[in-house]
Every structure is written in C-alpha cells, then in structure tokens.
Amino acid sequence: MSDRATIFWFRRDLRLADNPALLAAAAAAGARHAPLLPAYVWEPRERRRWAPGAAARWWLWRSLSALDGELRAHGSRLTVADGDPTERVPELAAGAGAHAVYWAAGLEPDEAADDEAVAAALLDAGIRAVVVPQANLLYDPAAVRTQAGRPYTVFTPFWRACLALPRPEPPLPAPEALPAAPPALPAWPAPPATPADSPAGDAASALPRLRDEAIRPWSAGFAEVWTPGEAGAQARLTAFVSGGLLSGYAEERDHPALHGTSRLSPHLHWGELSGRQVWHAMAGALAEAGLEPEAAVAPVDRDAAQAPGTAASAGAYLRQLGWREFGHHLLAAFPELPERPLSRRFEMFPWRRDPAALDAWRQGRTGASLVDAGMRELWNTGWMHNRARLVTGSFLVKDLLLPWTLGEEWFWDTLVDADLANNVLGWQWVAGCGADAAPYFRILNPETQARRFDADGAYRRRWAGEAPEAPAQPIVEHRAARARALAAYDVMRESGRPE
C-alpha cells in the first residue's frame, strides 16, 4: 500500500459532520494507510471581485480556529496557506507528494471556475482530483428546471418543483477519527511568531495577514453576539429548534426587537452547518407535530395560515430555506447577477449620485428611525434583522434613489453572513429588478413599517437611541421621495429597453 498523502481542501464547508467530500477523502486515505492533510487556502482580497468582506473575515479567522480545534480532537490538524488556490492547491499537493486531492464543488461562479483550473493543474501533475457534490444546498441546481429546461425565475413554482423531488438525504455523521496529518511541509514555513490561538500556527504563513484583517476595532462587539465554528452552529440550531424559539417563529420573525429568528445565516454561509442538517432538524420538529415537511411548506400566500404553533413556524422557516436555495440556483444560472440586473430595462434607470446621502445611510443618520436602527445594528453586530434589511434597502433605492449595487457592496463588507447569492437576490428583489422581485411601485414607508413591526419602539431605542414619539428630522420626506421614485420608474419604462 502507498503512503502518499491525500489532501482535503476545505472551502465553505468548515465542518466535520455531514461533509461528504471530507468523509470520502478520509476513507480513501485510510484505505491506502496514508496520511490525510486538511488544508485551507486564504485568498488575497485583490484576487477576485467578491472576496470576503471585512466582517466575513472576522468570522472566517475564528471559524478556522474552531475547525483546527475540531480536527486536532480527531487526530489531525489544519494547514492554512495564502494565495491563488489554483496555484497553491497544486503546489501543496506536489510538496506533500500527494496521491489525490479531494474537495466539495464550488457554489459560486468563481468557485466553479477554480474547480476546473485546480483539477486541470492536478491532472497535469499526475495527481488525482476528486470533486464531490457538496451538501450545503438541498438540491442540485441542474436538477431544478422548468418543463422547457430553463431555470426558474419565480419562487413559488421553483419551490413547488423542489418539493416534488426526493427529500434531501439525511445528514452524515462526523468521522470518528481522521488519518494523521503529515509533518509540516518545508514549502509552507511557519512565520516567526503566531498567536497561541492560531489555527495550524506551525504550518501557516498566511495567518498573520488573516489575523490582521480579522481583528479590527469596529468589530469589537461581534464576539458578544456570535460563536463562529461548527460547535457554535450546532448550539444555535439546537437552541432554535428545541429551545422554544421555533414555536414562535411564524408570528415573531417580522419583529426586529424580538429574538424571533434563528440567526443561522452566517453558519450556513460558511458551511459550519449544511442545508440538509437544518432541513432535517425542521422535518423532525414537524414530525413531532404530526406533519410531513412537504405538506407544511407547500406554497401559500401566508406561511402562518398553514397550521398552528410549531408546525406553522417550521413550515415558514423551511420556506425561507427555500429562498436561500432559490438565490443560489439563480446565481448558478445567471452568473452576471452581482453586477447586472436580471431585468435588463433597469440598466436604463436614472439613478442619482449623492455621496452625502449615501454616507448618511451607511452611518444610520437618515432621520428615518427604523432605517437608522437597522444600519447601526449592522455596524455593531455584523448582522441585521431581515425586516430591517427590507426597509433599509427600500430606503436606499427608492427614497434616496441610489443604485442597489451600492447597498449590495456595503452589506457585502459589513455582514458576517454576506452570501453572494442571497445578497444579490435580496437587493434586486427590493429594487424591483430581479427574480420574483417586488413590483416597482412597492415603496416601503419607513415610519409605517416602524409602527407596524416595532410598535413600542424597543428596537429603535436600542440601536438608534431614539424615542418613537420624538423622531429626528429625516434627510428626505417620504411622500416626495415616493413621487420622485415613481417618476424615475416611468422614465425607465418609457426608454423602450426590453426586459
């Protein structure tokens, strides 16, 4: 038997449980009585347009630290390198004398391109490349198509088609143990000094740079809210499903002052949880209520109308998981979406340029109390409640008439759960230019939204320090802004540009 190493390349699947690619790599290494080298490649920000933003890098540093701890508990450890993965992965494989490299298929267009480039480079070097379908999504984007063979661009028929497919496979357990990793490679020298809590501090020249980008003064409060890593993800999932939060989700999820949402989004983005782990946790809750998942999540106008209590909430939550799925399927079908609207006529939209208004929006100084509370929650925690995301987004693109791409970029840099597919889906939905988007004339009134979803002002007082009965003067009057937005939409529609 050969003792040539097998490499497992972690990407956005930073977990041991329900990681089919890791299990396949471990089984292959074990069968050959060979070491297994788990590795992560830290990409420089300048390499690609949508490299992780500042808040996401805060998360990534800590998630890698947690992953290294989990690997060490299983007899292994994590190696971290920096640079272009299309170069670094083949170099790492050559330096280790590796027999094969395993990894999970990419979720985004850039990642899919990297799959092809890395596989080709390994093949040229005589090293096996094994790309395993990943478990982060519930359904293969290539398997969900209209009868005409095209991707869905409306959510309800998309979700109905998903529910007609076989159920997601049950999640797989973590490996009981992993083949030991080989010694640190000379090709990857350790830096002169690294913090004691660094992942793979004995093997990672990338760590000082990653650490410096992950530790910034503005993110000081993040640790009070989040626990990155697989253990933190499992704890939050358990607390949501079994800790009493799930039963109130359908009624409370729209009220930002309440702890009515799961806050699993960053764990899902980094793959500390898989989509099917969450699906089966919800299915278990539904089974206890005597319902099948397909019945509970059937598309209806109002989620909460399906059944009382936990059944309605689990169904509503699975529907939101379906929206996450929808975003990834759209991005796979239309890779240009982060830069271009799905509705091409919006390329003719007469957006304004107003740096002062943009700064006021970013800093939570618009005078619209719910908008300002949401933007300050984002700055202090790296996260924003979904209702606040809708209101702040509508305010930027409709009240201020500023391009949705500016909001997309700001959220990308400041959200710990910044996910390219869902960031694009949300912003194009709010702007009215994307798939299944809100109609152009739907312009949310921020004060009406505040009275409806934060009636006692608790959320606004907490984050904006403002009493609802004494609001600040807004930088724009909503009625006039609404009229201006509708006039701009009319200009676009009269341009003659087709969809």
SS (H, E, C) the chain: CCCCCEEEEECCCCCCCCCHHHHHHHHHHHHCCCCEEEEEEECCHHHCCCCCCHHHHHHHHHHHHHHHHHHHHCCCCCEEEECCHHHHHHHHHHHHCCCEEEEECCCCHHHHHHHHHHHHHHHHCCCEEEEECCCCCCCCHHHCCCCCCCCCCCHHHHHHHHHCCCCCCCCCCCCCCCCCCCCCCCCCCCCCCCCCCCCCCCCCCCHHHHHHHHCCHHHCCHHHCCCCCHHHHHHHHHHHHHCCCHHHHHHHCCCCCCCCCCCCHHHHHCCCCCHHHHHHHHHHHHHHCCCCHHHHCCCCCCHHHCCCHHHHHHHHHHHHHHHHHHHHHHHHHCCCCCCCCCCHHHHHCCCCCCHHHHHHHHCCCCCCHHHHHHHHHHHHHCCCCHHHHHHHHHHHHHHCCCCHHHHHHHHHHHCCCCCHHHHHHHHHHHHCCCCCCCCCCCCCCHHHHHHHHCCCCHHHHHHHCCCCCCCCCCCCCHHHHHHHHHHHHHHHHCCCCCC
**In the chain, where are the structural domains located?**
1-134, 135-171+231-333, 344-493
pLDDT over threshold 80, residue 393: yes
**Mean pLDDT of all residues in the chain?**
87
How high is the pLDDT of residue 214? 57
Say which residue, 331 or 208, is predicted with more confidence. 331
Fold (topology level) of 135-171+231-333: 1.25.40
Percentage of the chain lying above the pLDDT 70 cut: 85
Split at pLDDT 50, 70, 90, the class of 386 is very high
How high is the pLDDT of residue 267? 98
pLDDT over threshold 90, residue 487: yes
How high is the pLDDT of residue 410? 97
How high is the pLDDT of residue 294? 61
pLDDT over threshold 60, residue 2: no
**Domain 1-134 bears CATH identifier 3.40.50.620:** yes
Tell me which range, 5-19, 49-63, 430-444, is most confidently predicted by mean pLDDT.
5-19
Percentage of the chain lying above the pLDDT 90 cut: 65
pLDDT over threshold 80, residue 76: yes
Tell me: the pLDDT tens digits for 442-464?
899 999 999 999 999 999 999 99
Tell me: the pLDDT tens digits for 177-231?
898 876 655 333 333 334 444 444 333 445 555 665 555 667 778 988 999 999 9
Which of 40-44, 108-112, 138-142, 228-232 shows the lowest mean pLDDT across its residues? Answer: 40-44
Say which residue, 181 or 110, is predicted with more confidence. 110
pLDDT over threshold 80, residue 389: yes
Split at pLDDT 50, 70, 90, the class of 339 is very high
Split at pLDDT 50, 70, 90, the class of 89 is very high
- Its pTM stands at 0.91
Average pLDDT over residues 30-57: 86
**Domain 344-493 bears CATH identifier 1.10.579.10:** yes
How high is the pLDDT of residue 375? 97
Tell me: the pLDDT tens digits for 300-330?
434 434 445 777 788 888 889 999 999 999 9
